[in-house]
Chains A and B, each alone.
Chain A
Amino acid sequence: MYALRDKYALAGIGWTAFSKNSGRTVRSLASEACIKATADAGLKVSDIDGIVSYNFGDSAPAIAVATEIGVPQAGYAVDFQSGGNAANLIILSAVAAIEAGLAKNVLCYRAMNGRSGFRLGGGRDLSAYNITQYTAPFGWITYPQAMAMWCRRHMIEYGTSSEQLGEIAVQFRKNAALNERAMQRTPITMDDYYNSRMIVDPFHMLDICLETDGACAVLVTSADRAKDMKHKPIHIMGGAYGGGPNQGEDLFDAIRWPDHAHNYAPYIADDLWKSAGVGPQDIDIAQIYDCFTYSIVMQLEGFGFCKPGEGGPFVQGGRIAPTGALPLNTAGGLLSEGYIHGLNHVVEAVQQLRGDAGARQVPDVEICLTTAGAMTCGSALVLRN
């Protein structure tokens, strides 16, 4: 269990424009976000001595970015071969590296040409080896197709409905309208949701996140050092990563998963809350990984905001709006802000905790949950100002 409560902090954030066609190399996107996060912390690149990222072979290696921006010596430079579940894990690994003395100021980034380059959601290559030899030959290929299988199971067990999923999509689009960074800012109605194309039953087009060219970066350092930097430190209270004994062989592999109505969240919730010393009742706002509308439902249940099966009703009636009891995905989320593979949730968390979120600022935010991952594994952080 994470045992370094409040000893580390997020001191800088940076991001590029989010677009459908950056016209740039992924490395240059990563470098821009990293340079901005460094400057945001009030540091120089010469102060950076660690860098970490995650990718599916669709990004620039950490050491290439370190080289482009002129990091003098990276004592920690690591690339996780991983999906969005690692968005918070890379931050925990940066903390571990600093605690071990490998580095002092670590940049964590995700960069991708997710629309104009390698499209994660559009299906992988059609080769069917290792675990995919049991999935792809049946036309089970894309992530929307993978997640729809989980969603159906929740509908079977609990009666979760498209109406509930649609409310999530509509609310996050409203949030995005207040976010100058968001790719989709035009409000949508429930009719728009129902009328959006059925991609893979039970998912409509508007259940599925965006595809984005862009990058985000976060600077991790000790809370002591962060005190002397440019902004008020955003402390890492607690964190956790995992998904139990049946995570399978890769992110698509849920063949052995016991119950597809529940995901990784219950496997890490206890460690997360114990490490942070708070519980779901203490969370002011949350940035929850929303590669699909439905992934919100499983995580609300798994992290204890409601009981198993009650995630559908929970999102109704304005509870997740900025004025509700638990504001979610205040920047619009992966569904409407953009898909920087979950790291944009951490950027938004820092902005909200600083009180720097402009028109979309939620009043009096002190503690924010960020989560990453939707299926068999994931990571989460509890952050405070």
Chain B
Amino acid sequence: MSYDKPLPVLDPESTPFWEACRGHRLKIVKCGDCGQLRFPPTSFCPNCNSNCVEWVEASGKGTVFSWIVVRHPVPKDVYAGDVPYVVALVTLEEGVRMPTNIVGCAPEDVTASMPVAVQFRDVTPEITLPVFAPA
């Protein structure tokens, strides 16, 4: 069966991120001038307005900042087989936050500040999603 969930549409700013995920590496942008890290990737640094973009590899470790448990599937036909599932904002060790899924534990077992580590799910030959599991 073909994959029917939303897939990222890559653009010039995001391609390095998704290409890294495909290679099972988690990368974020570092300003080439002031060194501030940022996610999502953008062309200009909000701190110093430099357009010097460097990509650095993140440790893949973080903590759960907040989370939800989706119980009512939307759209129903796409997510009916997935509920309940957990969407979280994870704060990476490097300080930036990233939306993701928490896998590898029951939704009831997710807690605030829970340590998590990245895993990679190859959902199509082109796209790999970074999800997180209890560390």
Q: What residues make up the interface of A, taking CB atoms closer than 8 Å to B?
A: 122-123, 126-142, 145, 148-150, 152-153, 156, 197-202, 245, 255-256, 260
Q: A134-B99, A255-B39 are in contact. Are A127 and B6 (CB under 8 A)?
A: yes
Separation in Å of the B55 CB from the closest CB of chain A?
A: 16
* Docked complex Cα distance between A242 and B117 (Å): 36
* Docked complex Cα distance between A25 and B74 (Å): 26
Separation in Å of the B121 CB from the closest CB of chain A?
A: 10
* Docked complex Cα distance between A134 and B100 (Å): 8
Interface 0/1 of B53-64, CB less than 8 Å to A: 000000000000
Tell me if A's interface is mostly helix, strand, loop or mixed. Answer: mixed
Asked if B11 contacts A128 (CB within 8 A), the reply is no
Chain B residues within an 8 Å CB radius of A142: 74
Chain A residues within an 8 Å CB radius of B84: 201
* Docked complex Cα distance between A153 and B65 (Å): 7
Chain B residues within an 8 Å CB radius of A156: 66, 112
Residue B67 at the A interface, CB < 8 A? yes
In the complex, how many residue pairs between chain A and chain B have their CB atoms under 8 Å apart? 105
Residue B48 at the A interface, CB < 8 A? no
29 residue pairs A–B, Cβ–Cβ below 8 Å: A122-B74, A127-B6, A128-B8, A129-B9, A129-B11, A133-B8, A135-B99, A136-B6, A137-B6, A139-B5, A139-B82, A139-B101, A140-B99, A142-B74, A145-B68, A145-B70, A149-B66, A149-B87, A149-B89, A197-B71, A197-B72, A198-B71, A199-B71, A200-B70, A201-B71, A202-B68, A245-B46, A255-B39, A255-B89
Of B46, B75, B98, which contacts A134 at CB under 8 A? B98
Asked if B101 contacts A138 (CB within 8 A), the reply is yes
Residue B120 at the A interface, CB < 8 A? no
Separation in Å of the A382 CB from the closest CB of chain B?
A: 32
Interface 0/1 of B28-65, CB less than 8 Å to A: 00000000001110000010000000000000000001
* Docked complex Cα distance between A255 and B100 (Å): 11
Asked if A139 contacts B75 (CB within 8 A), the reply is no
* Docked complex Cα distance between A137 and B67 (Å): 16
Chain B residues within an 8 Å CB radius of A260: 65-66, 89
Chain A residues within an 8 Å CB radius of B6: 126-128, 132, 136-137, 141
Interface 0/1 of B1-15, CB less than 8 Å to A: 000011111110010
Q: Identify 18 new A-B residue pairs, CB closer than 8 A, beyond the known A134-B98, A137-B127, A197-B72.
A: A126-B75, A129-B9, A137-B6, A137-B123, A139-B5, A139-B101, A140-B87, A140-B99, A152-B67, A197-B71, A198-B72, A199-B72, A200-B68, A201-B84, A255-B97, A260-B65, A260-B66, A260-B89
* Docked complex Cα distance between A32 and B66 (Å): 44
Which of B39, B67, B74, B75 is the most central at the interface, judged by chain A CB atoms within 10 Å of its CB?
A: B74
* Docked complex Cα distance between A236 and B84 (Å): 47
* Docked complex Cα distance between A199 and B131 (Å): 22
Residue B133 at the A interface, CB < 8 A? no
* Docked complex Cα distance between A245 and B47 (Å): 11
Separation in Å of the B16 CB from the closest CB of chain A?
A: 13
Which of A122, A137, A140 is the most central at the interface, judged by chain B CB atoms within 10 Å of its CB?
A: A137
Interface 0/1 of B92-115, CB less than 8 Å to A: 000001111100000100001000
Separation in Å of the A292 CB from the closest CB of chain B?
A: 12
Separation in Å of the A314 CB from the closest CB of chain B?
A: 22
Of B78, B98, B107, which contacts A201 at CB under 8 A? B107
Separation in Å of the A157 CB from the closest CB of chain B?
A: 9
Residue B129 at the A interface, CB < 8 A? yes
Asked if A133 contacts B14 (CB within 8 A), the reply is yes
Task: Tell me the nearest residue of chain A to B4, going by C-beta.
Answer: A126
* Docked complex Cα distance between A373 and B6 (Å): 27
Asked if A256 contacts B97 (CB within 8 A), the reply is yes
* Docked complex Cα distance between A199 and B8 (Å): 25
Asked if A128 contacts B74 (CB within 8 A), the reply is no
Chain B residues within an 8 Å CB radius of A152: 66-68
Asked if B40 contacts A131 (CB within 8 A), the reply is yes
Separation in Å of the A141 CB from the closest CB of chain B?
A: 6
Chain B residues within an 8 Å CB radius of A135: 99
Residue B20 at the A interface, CB < 8 A? no
Separation in Å of the A50 CB from the closest CB of chain B?
A: 35
Of B10, B38, B72, B87, which contacts A133 at CB under 8 A? B10
Task: Tell me the nearest residue of chain A to B46, going by C-beta.
Answer: A245
Chain A residues within an 8 Å CB radius of B107: 201
Asked if B89 contacts A137 (CB within 8 A), the reply is no
